Chains A and B, each alone.
Chain A
Amino acid sequence: MKYSNKLAKPLNRRQTMKNKPKKQNLKKNETKSSSLFRFIISNAITLLLLWVLITGFILDINGYKWMKDKLITANIEFMQKSKDLNFEERNEVKLGYFFTYLNYINNSTPENAVILMPSDSVIKSVDEKYRLKNLTNRAITTYVIYPRKAVYKKHFPLDSALLKQITHVAIVNYQGYENLSYGTLISKKSMFAVYPTDLSQLKKKK
């Protein structure tokens, strides 16, 4: 009895030791596969819900639709198409002929130039396709031509001192030649140009 008792216990233990891991492995495998299944399904459903939320609801709202179509997609397409544009050309795309013309002035005058700009009525007489409206704005014109100075007759109190120091005259829509002492001598008139007030400067340039 004593012997059998002594034997029985270790045997039972061994049996349980052998059986237990098998059962546990089975359970483990079941849990593993079920948790893997749950993981795949829950992720798939969540991503599907996210896709429905974004495409079916959020992007249907005007503001978000504009952001997707105009701000993101249109810009990506344009940037890919125009990646070779240099800094000046990008400015021209955004600011129109206003930038092209003022950039031409930058290239044709020294940094200390004081330039007499045309009147608002002359600027407004130019076809809208040139997008010259900003030329009437003293600060925005300064943005492009700085450190050159733009002088407007309409700002007379502010520019009165500078009117005496004018070194160049901006020609817009064939207007402005009357502000040059030698204006009548120029036979071939341009729609857009810039001339020095001093005739000798022009001769030197030529």
Chain B
Amino acid sequence: MLQYFGMLLIYLLGSLILLTISKKFKPLEILAYSFLLGIGTQAFIMFLFSIPNVKLSLKSLFIVDLIIIVAITYFGKVYKLFSLKHIKQRIISYFDLNQINKYNLLWLVCFGMAAFIVFTISKKNLFWPTFATDSLSSFDVFAKGIAHEGKLLNSLILERRVGYGAAYPPLYSLSLAYALMLGFSSSKIIPTLFFISLSIGLYSTIKKITNIPTLAIFFTLIGIISPELIAQSAINITSVPQAIYASLSVITLMIWSKTKDWKYFYLSAVLMAFSCFIRSEGIIYLGAVSLFLLTNYIKTKTGLKQRIIYFLISIFPFLMWQIFLALNIEVMDKFLQVEILPYLNTDKEQIVKIWSLAFKVIKSKEYYGLTYPIFWIAIFLNTYTVIKKKDHFWIGGIILSVFFGYLILINQLTLRSDSIENIINYSGKRFFFGIIILSWYYLATNTIVIYLFHKLESLLRPLKKQIS
């Protein structure tokens, strides 16, 4: 009972934050982002408890959550949404017959397959306890320590009974700790809910931009079955959740760029903040996105204040974590796996080595299936749109910037206990999950693909009224 309550509280917290950003988010979007925002916020609250070394307990967490929920509901005027008139309007608009007309047999089949895959992966996730080495030695054992002792700097840290993952930004370990504090026998409910959020999030964003449900469900299905992405969704590590935060942040920013709907802009900022608070490499995505925002500002000369707010929101939790590490450097230093060179590494031999290893990984069909050729097809199809309409350039630009950003970062690393070859060969496949999700979104929202699916959808309509 407590477990259900605790998880519902996360969804409630997340949905209220989302509705504070804007009351116009659709039910599907609320379902997709509630968990992501809720668990990120809960982890950040737990982290704030840790700064003055206050002991965490479920009771204190619930009290803080309830205070936040009441404050958001009152000051964010979210209570207005609970009026009978508003609920009635929402229900009427949700069951709009013109929209139902857009669903067809192909949508139903693809939805069936996607639902079956999500269900199976979730079932597998919940059936098996944690067994991935990185989680056993780092994230999950650290979570056990936090849940049992109520502190981030617990005996496992002080006696070094945990792996290098303890120095990662703590969103994931704190989320797992929350699940364990609620009394779950395994913390794997967390990766399960992350994967479900990805599936709904990808579908809702593609549908939002194309308004073609068949296209959205088809590309969601193909996107989530990228082999290594789906395999690692069923184990308990940070890479997939980080990719989910980062990719959905970029996608919602692209929606803002196209629709100028500011709610997606601020949602993107919060998602980016959590992306940097789960793995430090979120900074690569923030760098690419900042470049986009800067260029966009130079072009439009409007919204400087909002762009600065975006950057501050995105970097804030990451900066807090860096300050926490610096303040506790004596204890945390032994968990820092890498050092970053303060100057540009121009070792040609290493650059060539990194490039060839990373290229081998990204091209692998065993890891990413069709994603690599699909990305180039998307680039080719988009060339016309980019040249003629000066549109759809940045999503491709961000994907490439992130890929090269990773290569530059790896080139700048001095490893304490591993080699560059091992990092790319064994961990490299996890670096590119965000790019994989973005590549499928990139293809799905291409003008030619939208046109083809538009035609297909009109062919498959069960009712007489056809769109040309």
Contact = CB atoms under 8 A, between A and B. Distances in A.
Interface of A: 31-32, 35, 38-39, 42-43, 46-47, 50, 58, 61-64, 66-67, 71-72, 75-76, 79, 87, 90-91, 94-95, 134, 137-140, 142-143, 146-147, 149-150, 158, 162
B156 A95 contact: no
30 contacts: A31-B464, A32-B464, A38-B459, A39-B460, A39-B461, A47-B105, A58-B222, A58-B369, A58-B370, A61-B365, A63-B228, A63-B365, A63-B366, A63-B368, A63-B369, A64-B227, A71-B227, A72-B117, A75-B127, A90-B127, A94-B129, A94-B131, A138-B160, A138-B161, A139-B161, A140-B136, A142-B141, A142-B156, A146-B148, A158-B159
B161 A149 contact: yes
B137 A50 contact: no
Contacts of A61: 365, 369-370
B144 A66 contact: no
B168 to A, nearest CB: 14
CB-based closest 8 A-B pairs: A63-B227, A139-B137, A94-B131, A143-B141, A142-B161, A42-B459, A63-B366, A63-B369
Contacts of B364: 63
Given A58-B370, A66-B366, A139 B129 contact: no
A58 B365 CA distance: 11
A153 to B, nearest CB: 15
Nearest to A137: B137
DSSP majority for the B interface?
A: helix
Q: Point out which of A72, A91, A143, A158 has the most chain B C-beta atoms below 10 A from its C-beta.
A: A143
B156 to A, nearest CB: 7
Given A43-B105, A142-B141, A147-B148, A76 B161 contact: no
Nearest to B106: A46
Contacts of A35: 464
B461 A139 contact: no
A76 B127 CA distance: 11
Interface string B57-73: 00000000000000000
Given A94-B131, A147-B148, 15 more contacts: A46-B105, A46-B456, A47-B105, A47-B109, A58-B222, A61-B369, A63-B368, A67-B225, A71-B121, A90-B127, A137-B137, A139-B161, A143-B130, A143-B136, A143-B137
Contacts of B105: 43, 46-47
B461 A47 contact: no
Given A139-B162, A142-B156, A95 B131 contact: yes
B124 interface: yes
B200 to A, nearest CB: 20
Given A46-B106, A47-B105, A71-B234, A140 B133 contact: yes
B106 A50 contact: yes
Contacts of B368: 63
Interface string B425-459: 00000000000000000000000000000001001
A64 B117 CA distance: 13
A203 B110 CA distance: 65
Contacts of B460: 39, 42-43, 46
Interface in B149-208: 156, 159-163, 185-186
B105 to A, nearest CB: 5
Interface in B88-143: 104-106, 109-110, 117, 120-121, 123-124, 127-131, 133, 136-138, 140-141
Given A66-B227, A67-B230, A94-B129, A146 B141 contact: yes
A129 to B, nearest CB: 18
B231 interface: yes
Contacts of A94: 128-129, 131
A116 B127 CA distance: 32
Q: Point out which of B121, B141, B367 has the most chain A C-beta atoms below 10 A from its C-beta.
A: B141
Nearest to A68: B225
Contacts of A146: 141, 144-145, 148, 156, 161
Contacts of A43: 104-106, 460
B27 interface: no
Interface in B341-390: 364-370
Nearest to A44: B105
Nearest to A42: B459
A63 B230 CA distance: 11
A66 B163 CA distance: 30
Contacts of A72: 117, 120
Nearest to A150: B161
B227 A67 contact: yes
A65 to B, nearest CB: 9
Nearest to A39: B462
B162 A75 contact: no
A46 B109 CA distance: 11
Nearest to B113: A54
Contact of B123 (A32, A79, A139): A79
Given A63-B366, A146-B148, A90 B128 contact: yes
A111 to B, nearest CB: 10
A47 B156 CA distance: 55
Contact of A64 (B104, B144, B162, B225): B225
B138 A79 contact: no
A67 B370 CA distance: 13
Contact of B163 (A32, A75, A79, A139): A139
A143 B176 CA distance: 13
Contacts of A134: 136
Contacts of B117: 72
B8 to A, nearest CB: 24
A149 to B, nearest CB: 7
B131 A79 contact: no
Nearest to A63: B227
Contact of A79 (B124, B186, B227): B124
B138 to A, nearest CB: 7
Contacts of A71: 121, 124, 227, 230-231, 234
